[in-house]
Structure 1
Amino acid sequence: MVKPFIRNHQYNLIKKQVNLLQQTANSVSDPKVVESVRFSAQSKVVEAFPEITEDHKQSLEKIAALRTSEEFQHYLHALKPYMVEISQVTGKQLSKLFPKIKKLKAPDFTTTDYRYVTYLGWVDIATNKMFIVYHLNGQWVGIEGRYTPSNKGVCFLCNRHEEVALFTAVTKWKPANASPDYYKAIGNYMCVDSAVCNKNITDVTALELFAQKVLGNRES
């Protein structure tokens, strides 16, 4: 029985390393350079999985032996059964995540392939709001914030140059001696289109840190 262990952002990282290795193998004549890229790709892929079985590690390490276009594609295809499908979120759950919003306008996520999801996100232009729903520590958490359109820029989540907006959320954390009207807003530029971001993101560190700050799990 296949036990999934690859999350969406990790699969994106693998694809990125596979594409880099394939481009290098096809365009660079110096074998030492190619072998260096092979070693680097293998190391980065394995490092993205700090806790895996030896069998899974051996499956990932096969990236260093790829030579032909067919082998590159077969490698990626063979890893798909190992992708983790996170639990689906229902409309009722979304309403509970954002209880202060009486008429939540969220997309229909019933047809979403949750293997290729790191987070769910959408924009409500009518209210200038942006929403993030992320599966953190085994449960869904929701973050809402102000949406300010911008031009092309680097998304703080996927670190790619895309169409972004300034997403500003008020943190729930307060100092022990804070006044009743104390508040602190945290803002970052992120992809307007969450589907694009989910295809690009290779690391969830920034996302989880942002979520922890907004939800009040840490001060900074």
Structure 2
Amino acid sequence: MNKPFIRNHQYNLIRKQVKLLQQTCATVSDPKVVESVRGGVQTKLSEAFPEGGAFPREMLDAVTSLSTEEQFRQYLQSLEPYLDPFPQVTAKQLGKLFPKVKKLKTPELAGVDYRYVTYISWIDIALNKMFLVYHMNGQFVGIQGNFTPVNKGVCFLCNRHEQVALFSAITKWKPADASPDYYKAIGNYMCMDSEVCNRNITDVAALEKFIQAVTVKTH
């Protein structure tokens, strides 16, 4: 087994569960409680791969023997070769996703470790725009929208309390009898720092639902 299969959000979930187990082993003396948590962690790891895949049995079974800080560290390190990176993207490709934006300012892509990327997002202060790029159904999808910083809040993508902005994107969908100037915007609170969000996100359901709501032209 050497083919990458763990996406960034799945690896984040694994790290979160492994950390929970590590803390339990370090602070709880009752072996029954430890084993209960261990079983729960194994269940979570197994459920983290719903797309027709499965967390390999040997990796799942290995969790039963983890107890020391060094063992937990080595376990997470052993998973790194199996991280499935976000497809590398160029500034030119990003530009094609937003053809109506003149002189699009793209983020610095050199040095990005795509293994730890679920989506790419950046802000253009001059345009008061936020841009988001995701790889879905075999292709890149780009969304742009207005952003309004609101200080601390809960990000709809990673569900963590972080520095967020209200990201509002106009949908492509219109009712059949809509007037020419009809539009509908969908807004969500989202991390302003995508690197922070990419370290925290453990599920892409909300992200994919948002993208579909914005980009699908008909219901």
Asked if TM exceeds 0.5, the reply is yes
Asked whether the 8 Å contact 1:131–1:142 carries over to 2, the reply is yes
Structure 2 counterpart of 1:191, which letter? C
Structure 1 residue 136 and structure 2 residue 136: aligned? yes
Is there any run of 5+ residues in structure 2 with no aligned partner, and where?
none
How far apart are the structure 2 equivalents of 1:18 and 1:218? 42
What's the CA shift for 1:127? 1.4
Q: CA RMSD in A?
A: 1.5
TM-score with structure 2 setting the length: 0.95
Contact 1:174/1:216 (8 A) holds in 2: no
Instruction: Return 5+ residue gaps in structure 1 as ranges.
Output: none
2:195 — aligned with what?
195
Q: Determine if the alignment matches structure 1 residue 83 to structure 2 residue 44.
A: no
Superposed displacement of residue 218, structure 1: 6.4
CA offsets 1:21-41 (integer angstroms, 9 cap, x no match): 100111112222111110111
Contact 1:46/1:61, CA 8 A, preserved across alignment: no
In structure 2, C-alpha distance between the alignment counterparts of 1:162 and 1:30, rounded to whole Å: 35
Structure 2 match to 1:24: 24
**Structure 1 segments of 4 or more deviating over 3 A?**
none
Matching residue of 1:116: 116
Deviation at 1:53, TM superposition (A): 5.5
For these two proteins, the number of residue pairs brought into alignment is: 218
1:213 corresponds to = 213
Cα separation, 1, equivalents of 2:84 and 2:218: 28
1:8, distance to aligned residue in structure 2 (A): 0.3
- Structure-2 residue corresponding to 1:180: 180
Q: TM-score, normalised by structure 1?
A: 0.94
Pairing 1:62-81 to 2, within 5 Å after superposition: 62-81=62-81
CA drift of 1:217 comes to 5.8
Q: Which amino acid aligns with 1:52?
A: G
> How far apart are the structure 1 equivalents of 2:178 and 2:87?
37
- Structure 2 equivalent of residue 44 of structure 1: 44
Contact 2:46 2:54 (8 Å CA) reproduced: no
Letter in 1 for 2:93: Q
Tell me the alpha carbon deviations over residues 1-57 of structure 1, each in whole angstroms, 9 at most, x when there is no partner: 610000000000000000011001111122221111101111001111133367x23
Match of 2:96 in 1: 96
Taking every aligned residue pair, what percent have the same amino acid on both sides?
66
2:165 counterpart SS class: strand
Letter in 1 for 2:64: A
Q: Take 2:49 and 2:217, find their aligned partners in 1: how far apart are those partners?
A: 25
Distance 1:48 1:180, change over 3 A: same
Could you tell me how far apart the structure 2 residues matched to 1:169 and 1:6 are? 30
- Alpha-carbon distance between aligned partners in 1 of 2:114 and 2:138, rounded to the nearest angstrom: 15
